[in-house]
């Protein structure tokens, strides 16, 4: 596997440094699983690789798509047992469901496609020859407008009933000069509150506060500031309006 040309540099780094176990399936095995599940008609390169999942470029007929595949193994530096298929299926299903709520609610997230077990397809963001860059690596032409869109986008997500609990310039893609929110893996549903409700709301606001602080640090590179507390107030209003309906 260390010589597998399909793996991106971050994966090679983790392999070299012993952070990834070798239980990982090969690109060919993952591609077969995606094709067999009928999620794509063609599977291309890996676009990204996080703690728990990998994202692959693909095609469904003539349409470009991406497929997110939750892995069945744990990174070895954390130790612990391999995570079973079923629990990764649950995680994929959870993210897929949140993506569906966000999309239906009009938030700027990739349109969800289909989920099968630990994998799901969604709309590809990017130009034909280049996937949309993460905000972290992008160069913004109009950072002030982008910041406004980002804050409005976070409110929009809340309006759709979802709080993104892992906001960072790695989970916002720049597509057609607008912010697109991805990676709702740990998102929090805020309109259908379980019991006791305030625990989940509290968790959502804490996560948003952390994400807001991360974005404040990011936008400073453009000399821009915003008030996280103000963002939280706005989101709170959106959620309360939602709950009163
Ligand atoms: N819909 C998409 N269109 C284009 N690229 C995507 C899309 N979804 C994810 N990616 C790419 O895959 C990477 C990993 O996706 P993400 O959902 O953040 O997974 P994780 O962080 O859990 O690995 C992203 O940083 C982005 O580069
Ligand atoms: Mg991510």
**Judgement on whether residues 20 and 55 belong to the same structural domain of the protein:** yes
Element (H, E) at 122: strand 119-123
The pLDDT, as a whole number, for residue 12 is 61
Q: Which atom of ligand 1 is nearest to the CA of 50?
A: 23
Q: Which residues line the pocket of ligand 1, CB cutoff 6 A?
A: 47-50, 52-53, 55, 66, 68, 110, 122-126, 131-132, 134, 170-171, 182-183, 185
**Judgement on whether residues 34 and 62 belong to the same structural domain of the protein:** yes
* Closest to 22 measured CA to CA, from 2, 6, 52: 2
Which residue owns the Cα nearest ligand 1 atom 1?
124
The answer to whether position 41 is within a domain reads: yes
Per-run averaged pLDDT (10 residues), the chain, 245 residues: 53 62 78 97 94 94 96 57 68 96 97 97 96 97 98 96 95 98 93 65 93 98 97 90 60
CA of 136 to the centre of ligand 2 (A): 11
**Judgement on whether residues 166 and 118 belong to the same structural domain of the protein:** no
* Closest to 120 measured CA to CA, from 13, 39, 188, 177: 39
Q: Using the 8-state DSSP alphabet, how is residue 222 labeled?
A: G
The pLDDT, as a whole number, for residue 196 is 57
Q: For residue 196, is the peptide bond before it cis, meaning its omega torsion is within 30 degrees of 0?
A: yes
Domain boundary among 124, 155, 182: 124
The pLDDT, as a whole number, for residue 81 is 54
Which residue owns the Cα nearest ligand 1 atom 21?
50
CATH number of the domain enclosing 44: 3.30.200.20
Which residue owns the Cα nearest ligand 1 atom 18?
183
The answer to whether position 2 is within a domain reads: no
CATH number of the domain enclosing 201: 1.10.510.10
**Judgement on whether residues 15 and 98 belong to the same structural domain of the protein:** yes
Domain boundary among 104, 124, 144: 124
CA of 195 to the centre of ligand 1 (A): 32
Task: List the domain range (segments joined by +) for residue 174.
Answer: 130-244
The answer to whether position 3 is within a domain reads: no
**Judgement on whether residues 177 and 211 belong to the same structural domain of the protein:** yes
């Amino acid at each position: 596997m260390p010589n597998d040309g399909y793996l991106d540099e971050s994966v090679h780094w983790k392999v070299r440094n012993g952070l990834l176990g070798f239980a990982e399936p090969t690109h060919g095995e993952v591609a077969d699983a995606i094709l067999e599940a009928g999620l794509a008609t063609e599977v291309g390169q890996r676009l990204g690789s996080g703690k728990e999942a990998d994202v692959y470029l693909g095609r469904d007929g003539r349409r470009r798509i991406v497929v997110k595949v939750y892995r069945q193994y744990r990174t070895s530096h954390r130790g612990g047992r391999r995570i079973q298929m079923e629990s990764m299926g649950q995680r994929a299903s959870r993210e897929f469901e949140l993506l569906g709520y966000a999309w239906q609610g009009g938030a700027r997230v990739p349109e969800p496609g289909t989920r099968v077990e630990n994998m799901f397809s969604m709309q590809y963001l990017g130009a034909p020859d280049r996937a949309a860059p993460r905000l972290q690596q992008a160069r913004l032409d109009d950072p002030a407008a982008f910041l406004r869109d980002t804050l409005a986008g976070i409110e929009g997500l809340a309006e759709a009933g979802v709080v993104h609990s892992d906001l960072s310039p790695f989970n916002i893609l720049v597509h057609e000069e607008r912010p697109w929110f991805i990676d709702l893996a740990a998102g929090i549903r805020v309109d259908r509150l379980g019991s006791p409700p305030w625990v989940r709301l509290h968790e959502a606001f804490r996560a948003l506060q952390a994400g807001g602080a991360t974005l404040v640090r990011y936008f400073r590179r453009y000399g821009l500031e915003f008030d996280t507390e103000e963002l939280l107030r706005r989101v709170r209003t959106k959620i309360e309006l939602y709950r009163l309906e």
